Amino acid sequence: MNKATPVWGLMAALPEELGDLVHRLQAPTTHRIAGRDFIQGQLQGQTVHAVTARIGKVAAALTATTLIERFGVNHLVFVGVAGGLGQQVRRGDVVVAHELVQHDLSAWPLFPRGEIPLLGKTRLSCDPTLTQALQTAAQEALVGEQRLHSGLIASGDQFIQGHDMAQRIRDHYPDVLAVEMEGAAVAQVCEECGVPFAVLRTISDVADEGAAHDFVAFMRDTAAPLASRVLARLFAG
Ligand code: ADE
Protein backbone atom coordinates (compact mmCIF):
# COMPACT_ATOMS: atom_id res chain seq x y z
CA MET A 1 0.00 0.00 0.00
CA ASN A 2 1.30 3.52 -0.57
CA LYS A 3 2.05 5.71 2.40
CA ALA A 4 -0.06 8.78 1.52
CA THR A 5 -3.00 9.58 3.82
CA PRO A 6 -5.55 7.06 2.61
CA VAL A 7 -8.38 8.34 0.47
CA TRP A 8 -10.53 5.27 -0.11
CA GLY A 9 -12.56 4.44 -3.18
CA LEU A 10 -15.18 1.74 -2.71
CA MET A 11 -16.80 0.48 -5.89
CA ALA A 12 -19.43 -2.04 -6.87
CA ALA A 13 -21.31 -2.55 -10.13
CA LEU A 14 -24.79 -2.34 -8.54
CA PRO A 15 -26.02 -0.59 -5.37
CA GLU A 16 -26.92 -3.85 -3.54
CA GLU A 17 -23.34 -5.05 -3.89
CA LEU A 18 -22.01 -2.27 -1.64
CA GLY A 19 -24.11 -3.53 1.27
CA ASP A 20 -24.98 -0.90 3.88
CA LEU A 21 -21.76 1.06 3.38
CA VAL A 22 -23.35 4.17 1.90
CA HIS A 23 -25.77 4.41 4.84
CA ARG A 24 -22.92 4.24 7.34
CA LEU A 25 -20.95 7.15 5.86
CA GLN A 26 -20.90 10.18 8.15
CA ALA A 27 -21.40 13.70 6.77
CA PRO A 28 -22.07 12.39 3.26
CA THR A 29 -21.93 14.68 0.23
CA THR A 30 -22.80 13.63 -3.31
CA HIS A 31 -21.26 14.68 -6.61
CA ARG A 32 -23.00 13.54 -9.78
CA ILE A 33 -20.54 12.93 -12.63
CA ALA A 34 -21.22 11.01 -15.85
CA GLY A 35 -24.57 9.88 -14.47
CA ARG A 36 -23.06 8.34 -11.34
CA ASP A 37 -23.39 9.46 -7.72
CA PHE A 38 -19.97 9.71 -6.05
CA ILE A 39 -20.75 9.80 -2.34
CA GLN A 40 -18.01 11.10 -0.06
CA GLY A 41 -18.13 10.62 3.70
CA GLN A 42 -16.23 9.54 6.79
CA LEU A 43 -16.02 5.98 8.04
CA GLN A 44 -14.14 5.26 11.28
CA GLY A 45 -12.27 8.55 10.78
CA GLN A 46 -11.23 7.74 7.21
CA THR A 47 -12.27 9.49 4.00
CA VAL A 48 -14.27 7.23 1.72
CA HIS A 49 -15.74 7.76 -1.75
CA ALA A 50 -18.42 5.18 -2.57
CA VAL A 51 -19.93 4.71 -6.02
CA THR A 52 -21.76 2.18 -8.11
CA ALA A 53 -20.19 1.85 -11.54
CA ARG A 54 -22.88 -0.09 -13.41
CA ILE A 55 -22.07 -3.27 -15.28
CA GLY A 56 -19.14 -3.96 -17.60
CA LYS A 57 -15.51 -3.04 -18.16
CA VAL A 58 -16.05 0.38 -19.75
CA ALA A 59 -18.38 1.48 -16.94
CA ALA A 60 -15.88 0.23 -14.37
CA ALA A 61 -12.91 1.93 -16.04
CA LEU A 62 -14.75 5.25 -16.33
CA THR A 63 -15.74 5.12 -12.67
CA ALA A 64 -12.33 4.06 -11.35
CA THR A 65 -10.60 6.77 -13.38
CA THR A 66 -13.01 9.39 -12.02
CA LEU A 67 -12.38 8.25 -8.43
CA ILE A 68 -8.65 8.62 -8.94
CA GLU A 69 -8.47 11.75 -11.08
CA ARG A 70 -11.33 13.81 -9.63
CA PHE A 71 -11.37 12.71 -6.01
CA GLY A 72 -7.74 11.78 -5.34
CA VAL A 73 -8.56 8.20 -4.36
CA ASN A 74 -5.31 6.36 -3.56
CA HIS A 75 -6.69 3.01 -2.29
CA LEU A 76 -9.43 1.26 -4.24
CA VAL A 77 -11.58 -1.71 -3.20
CA PHE A 78 -14.14 -3.37 -5.49
CA VAL A 79 -16.84 -5.66 -4.06
CA GLY A 80 -19.64 -7.59 -5.74
CA VAL A 81 -20.80 -10.94 -7.05
CA ALA A 82 -19.24 -13.35 -9.54
CA GLY A 83 -19.79 -16.68 -11.21
CA GLY A 84 -17.72 -19.54 -9.79
CA LEU A 85 -15.40 -21.35 -12.24
CA GLY A 86 -12.97 -23.11 -9.90
CA GLN A 87 -13.72 -26.75 -9.09
CA GLN A 88 -13.95 -26.10 -5.36
CA VAL A 89 -15.84 -22.79 -5.66
CA ARG A 90 -19.52 -23.04 -4.67
CA ARG A 91 -22.45 -20.65 -4.60
CA GLY A 92 -22.17 -18.49 -1.48
CA ASP A 93 -18.37 -18.80 -1.26
CA VAL A 94 -16.17 -15.72 -1.34
CA VAL A 95 -13.22 -15.13 -3.69
CA VAL A 96 -10.54 -12.52 -3.06
CA ALA A 97 -8.49 -11.81 -6.20
CA HIS A 98 -4.72 -12.07 -6.20
CA GLU A 99 -4.62 -11.53 -9.96
CA LEU A 100 -7.10 -10.45 -12.65
CA VAL A 101 -7.24 -11.06 -16.38
CA GLN A 102 -9.52 -9.86 -19.21
CA HIS A 103 -10.73 -13.14 -20.66
CA ASP A 104 -12.27 -11.45 -23.73
CA LEU A 105 -9.20 -9.41 -24.71
CA SER A 106 -7.26 -10.44 -27.79
CA ALA A 107 -5.23 -8.29 -30.16
CA TRP A 108 -3.77 -11.43 -31.79
CA PRO A 109 -1.78 -11.58 -34.07
CA LEU A 110 -0.39 -8.18 -33.10
CA PHE A 111 0.04 -9.20 -29.45
CA PRO A 112 -0.30 -12.52 -27.61
CA ARG A 113 -3.90 -13.45 -26.80
CA GLY A 114 -4.99 -11.90 -23.51
CA GLU A 115 -2.07 -9.47 -23.27
CA ILE A 116 -2.97 -5.83 -22.69
CA PRO A 117 -1.46 -4.10 -25.74
CA LEU A 118 1.53 -1.91 -24.93
CA LEU A 119 1.31 -2.69 -21.21
CA GLY A 120 2.97 -6.03 -21.89
CA LYS A 121 0.98 -7.86 -19.21
CA THR A 122 -1.83 -10.40 -19.27
CA ARG A 123 -2.46 -10.87 -15.55
CA LEU A 124 -2.51 -7.88 -13.23
CA SER A 125 -1.58 -8.37 -9.56
CA CYS A 126 -3.61 -6.89 -6.73
CA ASP A 127 -1.88 -4.94 -3.98
CA PRO A 128 -0.59 -7.59 -1.52
CA THR A 129 -1.12 -5.56 1.69
CA LEU A 130 -4.62 -4.38 0.82
CA THR A 131 -5.53 -7.85 -0.43
CA GLN A 132 -4.30 -9.44 2.80
CA ALA A 133 -6.40 -6.96 4.82
CA LEU A 134 -9.46 -7.72 2.68
CA GLN A 135 -8.86 -11.45 3.02
CA THR A 136 -8.61 -11.21 6.81
CA ALA A 137 -11.81 -9.16 6.94
CA ALA A 138 -13.54 -11.67 4.64
CA GLN A 139 -12.41 -14.65 6.70
CA GLU A 140 -13.99 -13.10 9.81
CA ALA A 141 -17.17 -12.25 7.91
CA LEU A 142 -17.97 -15.74 6.60
CA VAL A 143 -21.09 -17.42 7.94
CA GLY A 144 -22.46 -20.98 7.73
CA GLU A 145 -21.00 -23.02 4.88
CA GLN A 146 -19.28 -20.07 3.18
CA ARG A 147 -15.63 -20.66 2.31
CA LEU A 148 -12.90 -18.23 1.27
CA HIS A 149 -10.75 -18.73 -1.84
CA SER A 150 -8.02 -16.55 -3.27
CA GLY A 151 -6.47 -16.51 -6.72
CA LEU A 152 -7.28 -15.57 -10.30
CA ILE A 153 -10.49 -13.77 -11.32
CA ALA A 154 -11.35 -13.31 -15.02
CA SER A 155 -13.39 -10.35 -16.29
CA GLY A 156 -15.16 -9.73 -19.59
CA ASP A 157 -18.14 -8.02 -21.15
CA GLN A 158 -20.32 -11.13 -21.08
CA PHE A 159 -22.55 -12.75 -18.50
CA ILE A 160 -21.24 -16.33 -18.53
CA GLN A 161 -23.97 -18.95 -18.47
CA GLY A 162 -23.56 -22.44 -19.81
CA HIS A 163 -20.84 -25.07 -19.96
CA ASP A 164 -19.28 -24.02 -23.28
CA MET A 165 -18.86 -20.36 -22.33
CA ALA A 166 -17.42 -21.30 -18.95
CA GLN A 167 -15.12 -23.97 -20.37
CA ARG A 168 -13.61 -21.57 -22.91
CA ILE A 169 -12.37 -19.40 -20.05
CA ARG A 170 -11.10 -22.42 -18.07
CA ASP A 171 -9.24 -23.66 -21.18
CA HIS A 172 -7.32 -20.39 -21.44
CA TYR A 173 -6.88 -19.87 -17.68
CA PRO A 174 -6.94 -23.28 -15.93
CA ASP A 175 -6.39 -21.73 -12.48
CA VAL A 176 -9.33 -19.32 -12.79
CA LEU A 177 -11.62 -19.24 -9.72
CA ALA A 178 -14.37 -16.84 -10.76
CA VAL A 179 -15.72 -14.72 -13.60
CA GLU A 180 -17.27 -11.26 -13.49
CA MET A 181 -17.53 -8.14 -15.63
CA GLU A 182 -15.50 -5.34 -14.02
CA GLY A 183 -12.54 -6.35 -11.86
CA ALA A 184 -9.80 -6.53 -14.50
CA ALA A 185 -10.81 -3.13 -15.91
CA VAL A 186 -10.42 -1.58 -12.45
CA ALA A 187 -7.12 -3.43 -12.15
CA GLN A 188 -5.83 -1.94 -15.41
CA VAL A 189 -6.81 1.60 -14.44
CA CYS A 190 -5.18 1.19 -11.02
CA GLU A 191 -2.06 -0.39 -12.50
CA GLU A 192 -1.64 2.43 -15.01
CA CYS A 193 -2.38 5.13 -12.39
CA GLY A 194 -0.22 3.53 -9.68
CA VAL A 195 -3.09 3.03 -7.21
CA PRO A 196 -3.21 -0.05 -4.94
CA PHE A 197 -6.41 -2.03 -5.31
CA ALA A 198 -8.17 -5.19 -4.15
CA VAL A 199 -11.22 -7.12 -5.35
CA LEU A 200 -13.67 -9.32 -3.42
CA ARG A 201 -16.51 -11.32 -4.96
CA THR A 202 -19.29 -13.42 -3.47
CA ILE A 203 -20.21 -16.33 -5.74
CA SER A 204 -23.80 -15.88 -6.89
CA ASP A 205 -23.81 -18.77 -9.41
CA VAL A 206 -21.52 -21.30 -11.04
CA ALA A 207 -21.80 -19.86 -14.56
CA ASP A 208 -24.10 -22.67 -15.71
CA GLU A 209 -27.44 -22.55 -17.54
CA GLY A 210 -29.20 -21.39 -14.33
CA ALA A 211 -26.71 -18.60 -13.60
CA ALA A 212 -29.22 -15.76 -13.77
CA HIS A 213 -31.76 -17.55 -11.58
CA ASP A 214 -32.37 -15.86 -8.18
CA PHE A 215 -29.66 -13.32 -9.01
CA VAL A 216 -31.35 -10.32 -7.43
CA ALA A 217 -32.46 -12.25 -4.36
CA PHE A 218 -28.91 -13.56 -3.88
CA MET A 219 -27.48 -10.04 -4.02
CA ARG A 220 -30.01 -8.82 -1.45
CA ASP A 221 -29.91 -11.80 0.92
CA THR A 222 -26.28 -12.99 0.74
CA ALA A 223 -23.91 -10.64 -1.13
CA ALA A 224 -25.11 -7.39 0.45
CA PRO A 225 -24.85 -8.62 4.08
CA LEU A 226 -21.44 -10.15 3.34
CA ALA A 227 -20.18 -6.87 1.84
CA SER A 228 -21.48 -4.99 4.89
CA ARG A 229 -19.68 -7.32 7.29
CA VAL A 230 -16.42 -7.30 5.29
CA LEU A 231 -16.25 -3.53 4.85
CA ALA A 232 -17.11 -2.92 8.53
CA ARG A 233 -14.19 -5.16 9.50
CA LEU A 234 -11.82 -3.71 6.90
CA PHE A 235 -12.33 -0.23 8.34
CA ALA A 236 -12.37 -1.36 11.97
CA GLY A 237 -8.98 -2.99 11.56
N1 ADE B 1 -21.43 -11.97 -12.14
C2 ADE B 1 -22.10 -12.88 -11.41
N3 ADE B 1 -22.26 -14.03 -12.09
C4 ADE B 1 -21.66 -13.85 -13.28
C5 ADE B 1 -21.50 -14.66 -14.42
N6 ADE B 1 -22.00 -15.90 -14.46
N7 ADE B 1 -20.84 -14.13 -15.48
C8 ADE B 1 -20.35 -12.88 -15.44
N9 ADE B 1 -20.49 -12.07 -14.40
C10 ADE B 1 -21.13 -12.54 -13.31
Distance between Cα 143 and ligand 1 center (Å): 22
pLDDT tens readout for residues 193-202? 999 999 999 9
Domain boundaries, the chain: 7-236
Distance CA 93, CA 178 (A): 10
Is a pLDDT exceeding 70 seen at residue 2?
no
Confidence class for position 140, pLDDT limits 50, 70, 90: very high
CB-ligand 1 contact for 159 (6 Å cutoff): yes
Average of per-residue pLDDT across 112-136? 97
Closest ligand 1 atom to residue 160 Cα is: 7
Q: Is the CB of 92 under 6 A from ligand 1?
A: no
pLDDT of 4 reads 74
Distance 166 CA to ligand 1 centre (A): 10
Tell me, in angstroms, the distance from the centre of ligand 1 to residue 179's CA: 6
pLDDT digits (tens, 9 = 90+) for 153-182: 999 999 999 999 999 999 999 999 999 999
- CATH code that applies to domain 7-236: 3.40.50.1580
> At 186, is the pLDDT very low, low, confident or very high (cuts 50, 70, 90)?
very high
Q: What pLDDT, on the 0 to 100 scale, is given for residue 1?
A: 53
Which helix (H) or strand (E) segment is 156 a member of? Answer: none
> Quick one: average pLDDT of 70-99?
98
Closest atom of ligand 1 to 206 CA is 6
Residue whose CA lies nearest to ligand 1 atom number 9: 180
Question: How does pLDDT run across 15-65, given as a tens digit for each residue?
Answer: 999 999 999 999 999 999 999 999 999 999 999 999 999 999 999 999 999
Q: Is 179 in the pocket of ligand 1 (CB under 6 A)?
A: yes
At residue 215 the predicted structure's pLDDT band, cuts being 50, 70 and 90, is very high
Residue 146, amino acid: Q
Whether the CB of 50 sits within 6 Å of ligand 1: no
Q: What percent of the chain has pLDDT over 70?
A: 98
DSSP 85: -
Query: Would you state the pLDDT for residue 86?
Result: 98
Report the mean per-residue pLDDT for the chain.
96
| Strand, helix or coil for residue 67 | helix
Residues whose CB is less than 8 angstroms from the CB of residue 163 and which lie 6 or more positions away in sequence, other chains included: 208, 209
The confidence score (pLDDT) of residue 103 equals 98
pTM of the model: 0.97
Amino acid at 92: G
Q: Cβ distance 201 to 151 under 8 Å?
A: no
CA of 54 to the centre of ligand 1 (A): 13
Question: Is any atom of ligand 1 closer than 6 Å to the C-beta of 205?
Answer: yes
Q: How far is the CA of 120 from the centre of ligand 1 (A)?
A: 27
Cβ of 180 less than 6 Å from ligand 1: yes
Give pLDDT, residue 3. Answer: 60
**What whole-number distance in Å separates Cα of residue 200 and Cα of residue 202?**
7
Please check the confidence at residue 96 and state whether its pLDDT lies above 70.
Answer: yes
Q: How many residues does the chain have?
A: 237
The CA distance from 9 to 29, in Å, is 14
Across 129-133, average pLDDT? 98
Please say whether the beta carbons of 147 and 139 come within 8 A. no
183-193 and 57-71 helices, crossing angle to 10°: 30
Q: Sign (positive/negative) of CA torsion 209, 210, 213, 214? A: negative
Q: How confident is the model over 93-103, as a mean pLDDT?
A: 98
Q: For residue 155, give the nearest of 202, 107, 188 by alpha carbon.
A: 188
Active site residues: 17, 205
